[in-house]
Amino acid sequence: MTTGPFSASFAEARAAFVEAATAAGASLSSHAHPETGPDGGALTTDCAWIGPADAAKVLVLVSGTHGVEGFCGSGAQVDWLRRREFTHLAPDSAVLLVHAINPYGFAWKRRVTHENVDLNRNFVDFSRPLPENPGYVQLASAVTPEDWSEETQIACRRVLLDFARTHGFEALAQAMSGGQYTHPDGLFFGGSGPTWSRTTLETIFADHLSQATDVGIVDFHTGLGPEGYAEPIIAAPPGTPEYERAMHWHGLAATSHAGGDSVSAQIAGDWLAAAPSLLPRARVTGVALEYGTVPSNRVLDALRADNWLHAYGDPLSPEGQAIKAQMLAAFYIDTDIWRGMVLGQSLTAVRQTMRGLARTDSP
């Protein structure tokens, strides 16, 4: 990776974020994670607040929901701070930057938390019946085999392709990535209870946003769609006030996975959809900014390899390091063109959110 706002490791990214936030005059707070990184270093989620403590309107920028995707989101946050974009906030507004809400996944180049949970499938009510995904149950043994030989990989890919030929590729994508709650060692597992990252995000929101009446959110993601293009994905379903506001703020390029027109599968348990319930006093308008990287089959191969590695292999072995390189390449394109597209589209989305908040006068 080249120099600039982007970093080559979690530790480097955290240092750059703290330095940029300190230079911006932000108030900083940290949440210590119970695990350590591959280098034995401490893991934290860091928060930076700029603006009045009692601000009614708050811009929220979150990186690292899906761990390894934090290499992109952290760079966007650091760049935003270094450009001093916060100086354009309205007098009654503030910004909360949440850096690496899933620091374990960031440091270990994993998409999941240390509990092997997809954080964007974890925000469900675990006291109620959990969403069912019979398609994943049917494919589970092919998705996450115990053996990772080339012969097994070929056989498993054949099972997945046969499913797609029978049910369609959209059905395969939904079965694979829609979320599942039956296989704790599998992909896109939603958990059996709230994760550390979920409870930490809930605490951050309670600590920083209880006074807010309007909250605009940008959550940074990578791995879906055409290379370099950032799709603004709305969690709210079409026809709702939140959806209409987000469409007005971000334009016709915005999509809704709940409405079925997004590059993302329809999912349950994503935190952006849960944000209004976490902030009952506030009017919440949010987008997930999804940057495309490589073709979806390469992303899926990387995820399956990483899942096998942490279940049956050694992440610190040469084989493990090769899989980690495969993971990073699936979620971060190490070129100046891709990074430039990240920063330009990030600035656009955040400025759109700032403008939307500034024009919001009454509930």
Rounded to an integer, what distance in angstroms lies between the CA atom of residue 263 and that of residue 255? Answer: 8
pLDDT score of 2 more than 50: no
Beta carbons within 10 angstroms of residue 231's beta carbon: 21
pLDDT digits (tens, 9 = 90+) for 70-122: 999 999 999 999 999 999 999 999 999 999 999 999 999 999 999 999 999 99
Rounded to an integer, what distance in angstroms lies between the CA atom of residue 12 and that of residue 17? Answer: 9
Tokens 């409405």 belong to residue: 259
Rounded to an integer, what distance in angstroms lies between the CA atom of residue 300 and that of residue 187? Answer: 10
pLDDT digits (tens, 9 = 90+) for 266-317: 788 999 999 999 999 999 999 999 999 999 999 999 999 999 999 999 999 9
Tokens of 25: 């005059």
Terminus-to-terminus CA distance in the chain, angstroms? 44
CB 356, CB 216: distance < 8 Å: yes
Q: Which residue, 202, 215, 210, is CA-closest to 363?
A: 215
Q: How far is C-alpha 2 from the geometric centre of its chain's CA atoms?
A: 23
Q: Where are the beta strands (DSSP E) in 25-71?
A: 27-36, 42-50, 57-62
What is the residue-wise DSSP string for 311-348?
A: HHS-TTSHHHHHHHHHHHHHH---SHHHHHHHHHHHHH
b/e map of 63-91 (b: 16 or more CB within 10 Å)?
Answer: bbbbbbbbbbbbbbbbbbbeeebbeebbe
Give residue 262's pLDDT band: very low, low, confident or very high (50, 70, 90).
Answer: low
pLDDT score of 1 more than 50: no
Segment among 93-102, 175-184, 194-203, 324-333 with least mean pLDDT: 175-184
pLDDT score of 362 more than 50: no
**DSSP annotation of 69:** G
Q: Note the pLDDT of residue 261.
A: 63
Which domains, from first to last, does the chain contain?
10-127+188-297+326-358 (3.40.630.10), 134-177 (no CATH)
Give residue 363's pLDDT band: very low, low, confident or very high (50, 70, 90).
Answer: very low
What is the residue-wise DSSP string for 163-185?
A: HHHHH-HHHHHHHHHS-BSS-TT
Region 237-244: mean pLDDT is 91
